[in-house]
Structure 1
Amino acid sequence: MSDNELNLQQPLRIRRGFRLQWEPVQNGHVLLYPEGMIQLNDSAAHILKLVDGQRSIEQIISELQTQFPDVSGLDEDVLTFMGVAHAQFWLEYC
């Protein structure tokens, strides 16, 4: 597996030095890191709230499908987001 491929079974966490939090000034969730801040949309924040070092991408997708059974293409959207987040080094495998 190359560095940019996702492992769907291995738990991941938000990278050390990054922190997900609600930012009242931004009226939304942000991902803070030493050099700055990434403002997240609601979907991205909802996904990242499930990234806890215990769940794999498969488990996160399964949980989201249970929470939002009427959303079609949810698995593809989550995989796309996770791929971007991993490529941007927001996430790391445990």
Structure 2
Amino acid sequence: MTTTNILPTTRYEIRPPFLFRWEESQQAHVLLYPEGIVKLNATGGDILKRCNGKTSVAELIEQLGRDYHASDIDAIGKGVLNFLEVSHGKGWIRAKA
């Protein structure tokens, strides 16, 4: 598996053909694509909704730390980086140029 070089300044966006949205029937955020659907847990949805091409990884981690009232920002950061690496590996997101 290739590891992604995730820098604090990197800004990610959802990669076409994936479509990220809230799906009322699922009561969850989902990624839609021509072959199917990926239902995300709450944290995954909170991370991907910030992958808008404008929010840096550092800002994303800071925002989640605030939203989740985290006392250990390093633990939040590790979880976010892991999720971003997996999401990038699956082709869901790409670094914004």
**Is TM-score (shorter-chain normalized) higher than 0.5?**
yes
Q: Distance in 1 between matches of 2:43 and 2:57?
A: 15
Q: CA deviation at 1:50?
A: 0.8
1:93 aligns with 2:87: no
Calculate percent identity across the aligned residue pairs: 31
Q: Distance in 1 between matches of 2:70 and 2:62?
A: 13
TM-score by length of 1: 0.86
Please say which of residues 57-66 and 3-12 is displaced more in the overlay.
3-12
1:45 aligns with 2:56: no
* One-letter code aligned to 1:8: P
* RMSD of aligned alpha carbons: 1.7
What stretches of structure 1 of length at least 5 have no aligned partner?
A: none
Q: CA deviation at 1:3?
A: 6.8
Q: Distance in 2 between matches of 1:77 and 1:71?
A: 14
Moved over 3 A (4+): none
After TM superposition, list the pairs within 5 Å mapping 1:1-94 onto structure 2.
4-72=4-72, 73-94=75-96
What stretches of structure 2 of length at least 5 have no aligned partner?
A: none
What secondary structure does 2:51 align onto? coil
